[in-house]
Amino acid sequence: MERPELPLAQLHAFVVLAEELHFGHAAARLDIAQPPLSQQIRRLEDKVGHPLFDRGPRRVTLTPAGRELLPAARRALADLTAGLAAARAVGSGEAGRLRIGFAASLALTVLPGLLRTFRQRFPEVHLDIHEMTTAPQIAALHDETIDIGLLREPPADETELRFETVLSEPFVAVLPSAHPLSAGRTVRLSQLADSPFVLLPREAGPRLHDQITGLCAAAGFSPRIAQHAVEWQTVCALVRSGLGVSLAPASIRHIRLKGVAFRRIEPGTARTGVAVAWREGDQNPLVAHLLAAVGHDPAEEPPARRPSGRASRCSPRSR
Amino acid sequence: MERPELPLAQLHAFVVLAEELHFGHAAARLDIAQPPLSQQIRRLEDKVGHPLFDRGPRRVTLTPAGRELLPAARRALADLTAGLAAARAVGSGEAGRLRIGFAASLALTVLPGLLRTFRQRFPEVHLDIHEMTTAPQIAALHDETIDIGLLREPPADETELRFETVLSEPFVAVLPSAHPLSAGRTVRLSQLADSPFVLLPREAGPRLHDQITGLCAAAGFSPRIAQHAVEWQTVCALVRSGLGVSLAPASIRHIRLKGVAFRRIEPGTARTGVAVAWREGDQNPLVAHLLAAVGHDPAEEPPARRPSGRASRCSPRSR
DNA sequence: GCGCTCCATACGCCTAGAGATATCAAGCGG
DNA sequence: CCGCTTGATATCTCTAGGCGTATGGAGCGC
């Protein structure tokens, strides 16, 4: 990439003069006096090495060399204005791309509303949404494959990630409709002690898995896991087919599946949380925007990175 | 067309740094010290209003805004370097477009050699050649439809055009093979006094036409014109079919047509000239190049236009 | 010939910005 | 904890270039 030593001011003057073909008018459009314009053009011609205009007695004309340079100058100016505008839009978070990972169970609850409000506020922003369970989201956040995670029960030992709970919900028992316990409105956990369980594998989301087994332990038993499935949809289907019962966050009630009943757990104190996750100190303004959209106040955030002086330079830099 | 206030030096620094992602290396490539590079980038970021790079502790990365600006900056620089090179090539006459008008009778004589040598010397130059008779060439030169004319016997009263004879040739009589005069090797003009003539119309080329009728007058007769035709090809065809005889420049011998004979004129003093024509003071260097190719020495030319000071600015301007 | 239009030239002023050197600060590895 | 690497800051210098006003000079119309 070479560097042509052509000040943009001169190119601008050149383009305007090429349109006006009249030094006086062009100077007026450029809001300068006429002699400076003559100088601009002359300097440009000196740099090019050849005249760009024929100064006829009564009219100014482009030379062939000028005609050759004109489209390039136009394109360059247009590219730069457009690029500058785009960069500013992206920099201010009015445009760009945000990659979001989300747990499948949220596709029917928090996700749609979030997308809707965000799109309304930032129509120029492209949202890439990827369904993934908790553990892959953590990994994807670390290697910057996604910028935002929507997940359940994040691990507590993450130092470079931050989490904010956006929703807390109770657990429900997932039973086949034919199951005797589905007759009542609620189920005591201990009543499931002898039933086989269908659960997500622990690797998909260790914290949630541990929470479920912990609940069972509190109720005095250790769940016998008959089958693993990586999606709640599948869990419900397996429950319906009689493979076992399950414990799940209440929002999976949105999975309407004939032959499956959801029953509140007794006691109802145990709750599971849905959190947004992001990289601590992520400079991408879209991350902040999305956090704001889910109700997180960015002011609670410490500056994290670059605390020395110019931590936040998005607004006009102070010296 | 707006003017983005982005000095090209900064954009260049930006592009190089975006490629190197390392201030030291980028500065080395730009052949400056590292601190000035930091300043360039900073100034650019100030103008954009947002950071373009994330200065990580061990690595430099483009921000989304920087990624947005980068292609625009690249394109602008590439456009300008290319446009500048093209403008210089055109300005110096190494490239561009030259529009040439030529008389049909020259397509077989001077034109091919001229095109060949010119193309060899200036392969980047595109030649537009248009067949036209003398009068249209004069008109086309005036309204700048063509830059160069190749014509016969230009009018003498042209002030804004200049001519240079490149070829002088005698006249020949054009006769049907069956004509009694085609038996001899030469023909005296007076022998054609009673024959009907086929000629080009006077409007196509007044001087040549007048020259021919003048020759006849000198031989003691006024030619009886039986038929006009706008091309020599057609003239020959009409002569062959017995409509009449004709007088033509010798180079139409190249038109090989059975049944037509060409005979030298007695006395052979009368000659007709082929000339190049161009606009006086035409700045297009290709015109000068072509004139040189046909043997015209540009030094014989007075500066013509812009005699005040900077008449020839193609070389570095003197102040 | 006179004045008008239009572009070029001549000066003078002033600022942005590009460059260098010297120094500081943060992160990382031994 | 020290030292290396890497980028930021501070300060100074210098000049290209941008602008203005004043003036010159060529062509054209009346």
Q: Is strand D within 7 Å of residue B35 (CB)?
A: yes
Q: Do residue B80 and residue A72 have CB atoms under 8 angstroms apart? A: yes
pLDDT band of residue A255 (cuts 50, 70, 90) is: confident
Amino acid (one-letter) located at A196: P
> How distant is C1' of D5 from CA of B39, in Å?
20
Name the minimum distance, in Å, from the CA of B46 to any CA of chain A. 7
Q: Do residue B83 and residue A96 have CB atoms under 8 angstroms apart? A: no
Q: What is the pLDDT of residue B260?
A: 94
Q: Do residue A88 and residue B51 have CB atoms under 8 angstroms apart? A: no
Q: What is the pLDDT of residue B302?
A: 44
Longest distance between any two alpha carbons in chain A, whole Å = 104
Tell whether A316 lies on the interface with B, counting CB pairs under 8 A: yes
Tell whether B91 lies on the interface with A, counting CB pairs under 8 A: yes
Q: Tell me how far apart the alpha carbons of residues B92 and A83 are, in angstroms, rounded to a whole number.
A: 33
> Which of B16, B79, B283 lies at the smallest CB-CB distance from A75?
B79
> Which residues, 6+ apart, have CB-to-CB distance to A34 below 8 Å?
A23, A24, A27
Which of the 8 DSSP states describes residue A249?
A: E
pLDDT band of residue B279 (cuts 50, 70, 90) is: confident
pLDDT: which is higher, A4 or A226:
A226
Q: What is the pLDDT of residue A294?
A: 85
**Which whole number is the average pLDDT over B55-65?**
86
**Which whole number is the average pLDDT over A192-221?**
91
For the segment A299-312, what is each residue's pLDDT rounded down to a tens digit?
454 443 333 333 33
Average pLDDT, chain A: 86
State which residues between 269 and 308 of chain B bring their CB within 7 Å of strand D. Answer: 308
Return the beta strands (E) in A103-210 as ranges: 124-131, 148-152, 161-176, 186-188, 196-199
Nucleotide nearest A42, from its CA to each C1': C8
Hey, how many other C-beta atoms are within 10 angstroms of the C-beta on B62? 18
| Alpha helices, DSSP H, located in chain A | 8-20, 23-30, 34-48, 64-91, 110-121, 134-142, 206-218, 232-240, 285-293
Which of the 8 DSSP states describes residue A279?
A: E
**Which whole number is the average pLDDT over B130-146?**
89
Which of the 8 DSSP states describes residue B245?
A: B
pLDDT band of residue A152 (cuts 50, 70, 90) is: confident
For the segment A84-107, what is each residue's pLDDT rounded down to a tens digit?
999 999 988 889 999 999 988 888
Provide the number of CB pairs (under 8 Å) joining chain A to chain B.
189
Name the minimum distance, in Å, from the CA of B287 to any CA of chain A. 12
State which residues between 29 and 48 of chain A bring their CB within 7 Å of strand D. Answer: 30, 32-33, 35-37, 39-40, 43
From residue A24, give the alpha-carbon distance in Å to each of A13, A34, A36, A44. Answer: 12, 6, 11, 18
> How distant is C1' of C9 from CA of A68, in Å?
28
Q: What is the pLDDT of residue A312?
A: 37
Lowest-pLDDT choice from A113-117, A171-175, A220-224, B302-306: B302-306
pLDDT band of residue A247 (cuts 50, 70, 90) is: very high
Which residues have CB atoms below 7 Å from chain C, the nucleic strand?
A 22-24, 34-35, 38-39, 41-42, 53, 55, 60, 308; B 5, 7, 9-10, 30, 32-33, 35-36, 39-40, 43, 57-58, 309-310, 319
Q: What is the pLDDT of residue B207?
A: 84
**Which whole number is the average pLDDT over B59-69?**
90
Strand pairing report for B196-199 and B224-228: parallel
> Which burial class, exposed, middle or buried, applies to A178 when counting CB atoms under 10 A from its CB (0-12, 13-18, 19+)?
exposed
Q: Do residue B79 and residue A82 have CB atoms under 8 angstroms apart? A: no
For the segment B232-264, what is each residue's pLDDT rounded down to a tens digit?
889 999 999 999 999 999 988 888 888 999 999
pLDDT band of residue A5 (cuts 50, 70, 90) is: confident
Closest CA to A172 of A254, A51, A275: A254
Report CA Rg, chain A: 32
Q: Which residue is closest, via its CA, to the C1' of C5? A: A58
Strand D contact nucleotides, protein CB < 7 Å: 6-11, 17-23, 25-28
Inform me whether the pLDDT recorded for A122 exceeds 90.
Answer: yes
From residue A131, give the alpha-carbon distance in Å to each of A106, A142, A164, A205, A230. Answer: 9, 17, 19, 14, 12
> Which of B8, B45, B64 lies at the smallest CB-CB distance from A4?
B8
Inform me whether the pLDDT recorded for B123 exceeds 90.
Answer: yes
Q: What is the pLDDT of residue B107?
A: 84
Contacts with B, A 47-76, CB within 8 Å: 48-52, 54-55, 63-69, 71-76
Q: Which residue is closest, via its CA, to the C1' of D10? A: B35
> How distant is C1' of C11 from CA of A35, in Å?
13
Cβ–Cβ under 8 Å, residues A176 and A242: yes
Inform me whether the pLDDT recorded for B214 exceeds 80.
Answer: yes
Chain A hits for B13, CB-CB cut-off 8 Å, are none
Lowest-pLDDT choice from B88-102, B171-185, B191-205, B267-281: B267-281
Chain B hits for A84, CB-CB cut-off 8 Å, are 4, 6, 48, 69, 72
pLDDT band of residue A297 (cuts 50, 70, 90) is: low
Q: What is the pLDDT of residue B160?
A: 78
Q: Tell me how far apart the alpha carbons of residues B210 and B268 are, in angstroms, rounded to a whole number.
A: 17
Q: What is the pLDDT of residue B233?
A: 86
pLDDT: which is higher, B152 or B160:
B152
B/e letters for B238-268, b = 16+ CB within 10 Å, e = fewer, are bbbeebbbbbbbbbbeebeeeebbbbebbee
Q: Give me the domains of chain A, ranges plus CATH numbers.
A: 8-91 (1.10.10.10), 96-165+273-298 (3.40.190.10), 169-271 (3.40.190.290)
Q: Tell me how far apart the alpha carbons of residues B278 and B280 are, in angstroms, rounded to a whole number.
A: 6
| Alpha helices, DSSP H, located in A104-204 | 110-121, 134-142
pLDDT band of residue B309 (cuts 50, 70, 90) is: very low
> Which of A12, A68, A284 lies at the smallest CB-CB distance from B87?
A68
Contacts with A, B 281-300, CB within 8 Å: 283-284, 286
SS3 for B189? helix
Strand pairing report for A224-228 and A124-131: unpaired
Q: Which of A6, A31, A50, A310 to mutate to test the interface with B (most CBs of B within 10 A)?
A: A50
Handedness of CA A316, A319, B3, B8 (dihedral sign): negative
Closest CA to A136 of A43, A230, A214: A230
With residue B128 as reference, give the H or E element that holds it.
strand B124-131
With residue B224 as reference, give the H or E element that holds it.
strand B224-228
Q: Tell me how far apart the alpha carbons of residues B14 and B20 are, in angstroms, rounded to a whole number.
A: 10
Chain B hits for A97, CB-CB cut-off 8 Å, are 64
Q: What is the pLDDT of residue B297?
A: 56
pLDDT band of residue B281 (cuts 50, 70, 90) is: confident
Q: Which of A8, A127, A160 to mutate to test the interface with B (most CBs of B within 10 A)?
A: A8
